[in-house]
Amino acid sequence: MALVTCPDCSKAVSTLATACPHCGRPVESEDESVAPERSFEEEYGFGTSTDRNCPYCSEEVEAEWLVCRWCGHDLTSEEAKRKAYQWTPGRLGCAGIAILVLALLVLSQFYDKETPSIEPTKYAAYVMCQEFVKDRLRAPATADFPVLSEARWSKSDGDRWRFEAHVDAQNAFGAVIRTRFHCVVKYAGENKWQLVELDMV
């Protein structure tokens, strides 16, 4: 049993008592006591972290050190506290990077997101022919086309591409059949293709 001093009557009171027997003031137990008010330094981490740096020489110092062992400056002075919260070149660099990233994100919202124009090639034309053929199949997901080197192709004026090839795909009964096709596509610009002719045998 420990004795504490009553704040009202200044007489000794047991910590087991619920109230002071002299004046009747309730005795606060340790778990009910109000936490002491924290100082500015404790609230914002000054003097509590074990890995803080000296505001003068930037060397790592322990939280309980009063004087920096590296440069000898007083770590408890108002000047040291003020320097600890000033912007250092490292902090300015991080802030500068954050501002730059934010500016780039804002500018990217206003950037014109036009799709770049792609020059029409035989590969793109062949892929578009395959898409037009798939539109006419019963089971387009089962379509199997030969590679371009196995197909016959030619290019005429006006960006027209002509292909003769085959496709293996399932019919309505699930049987895989081979269908020959003759396809002509034309590049219409702005990444768009136009079907000119399609014969499937």
Q: Domain residues of the chain, as ranges?
A: 1-34, 41-90, 122-200
Comparing CA positions, the residue from 161, 160, 126 lying closest to residue 145 is: 126
DSSP state of 157: T
Q: Look at the pTM and tell me if it is higher than 0.85.
A: no
Give the Cα separation of 129 and 151 in Å (integer): 12
Structure tokens at 134: 């798939």
Give the Cα separation of 65 and 57 in Å (integer): 14
Residue pLDDT tens, the chain, 201 long: 678 888 888 888 888 888 888 877 777 765 444 455 666 555 555 544 455 788 788 888 787 777 887 888 887 887 777 776 665 555 556 677 888 888 888 877 776 555 555 567 889 999 999 999 999 999 999 999 999 999 999 998 778 999 999 999 999 899 999 999 999 999 988 888 999 999 998
Instruction: Give the architecture (CATH level 2) of 122-200.
Output: Roll (3.10)
C-alpha distances in Å from residue 50, one per residue of 11, 38, 63, 82: 41, 18, 5, 19
Helix, strand or coil for residue 160? strand
Give the Cα separation of 47 and 62 in Å (integer): 8
Q: Please name the residue ranges forming H helices in 111-194.
A: 122-134
Strand extents, DSSP E, 101-191? 152-156, 160-170, 176-189
- Alpha carbon 186 to chain centroid, angstroms: 42
Measure the CA angle with vertex 137, ends 131 and 139; round to 5°: 105
